[in-house]
Amino acid sequence: MTQKKILITGANGFLGQFLVRDLWQKGYEVIATGKGENRLPFTYTERFTYDTLDIGKSASVHSVFDKHKPNLVIHAAAITQVDDAERNTELAEQINVQGTAEVLVDAETYAEYILFISTDFVFDGNKGMYEEEDDLQPLSFYGFTKMQAEAIMSTAEIPYSIVRTCLVYGKPLSGARSNIIQWVSGKLQANEAIKVVNDQVRTPTYVEDLSKAIVQLVEQRLTGIYHISGKEVFTPYEMAVATANYLGADTSLITPVDASTFKEVGKRPLKTGFSIKKAETLIGFQPVSFQEALIKIFEQ
């Protein structure tokens, strides 16, 4: 049997790095793609290719797909910064919506399966502990583009799945954008005071758990929508305090504040978090606890 060839968009990103590593270790031939040069920390000499891909340009998407003819696709590339999407709605629409449509069209030509990465920000935050079938009601333009992209994905003529996730954290394999744990630990170790929101509720997701769950979905070619996150409910402030306690840092440096303290352009849902029963049942998903994740992050 010929080895499956998987193309990953957004491979330079935080999650993308782990997907490249985990799928390569599983024996897949990995085509990692991203806007700009290869920033991945790997020196793989076989079953690995990096190619520049701008999902905002249909010619770029088509040429990369035509060149590599992947069997499988993971579409993780997106503008994910909520305020950036709100400030530049045209670009967010081009990348998150039109880009998803372009990727899907070429995936339908060459591949047998596609998996799309979405977000808890497709919900309004009134209910919390969302299930896969709950109604979508995004508050931000970023959330709106992801809802549109999900709708596009649902028209796929090949088997597809959508993975929604929630406040992803961990230690990047290389210079991906900082996440809450890195930011908090960096500030505390520099003895700097920080303000952290305490009125937004999430089920934070350890990046390595997320990547492994996605690999399982791909391996089993499971279709439909899946919520992948941690089980525990935290506010960002509670995450910051737990991190400080783990590091033996001064918790008095951390001040809890309401989201209204920050002048954010894009509105965030107050209460999201996921029920992960479907993933637990179908792929045996068992995320690590936040405490276990901290050990993994700081002992690496």
- The CATH number given to whatever domain includes residue 194 is 3.90.25.10
Verify that 49 and 86 share a domain, yes or no. Answer: yes
Same domain as 119, residue 25? yes
215 and 255 fall within a common domain: no
Total tally of structural domains belonging to the chain: 2
Interval 4-19 mean pLDDT = 96
Residue 269's Cβ-count burial label (10 Å; 0-12, 13-18, 19+) is: buried
Examine residue 107 and state whether it is found in any structural domain, yes or no. Answer: yes
Whether residues 67 and 82 share a domain: the answer is: yes
Q: What is the pLDDT of residues 147-183, one digit of tens each?
A: 999 999 999 999 999 999 999 999 999 876 789 999 9
Q: Are residues 78 and 150 in the same domain?
A: yes
Answer whether 0.85 is exceeded by the pTM.
yes
Distance CA 100, CA 75 (A): 8
Question: What local confidence, expressed as pLDDT, does residue 264 receive?
Answer: 86
**Residue 174 within any structural domain of the chain:** no
- The residue count of the chain comes to 300
What pLDDT does 177 receive? Answer: 72
What percent of the chain has pLDDT above 90?
95
User: What's the CA gap between 203 and 274, in Å, rounded?
Assistant: 6
Q: What is the pLDDT of residue 3?
A: 64
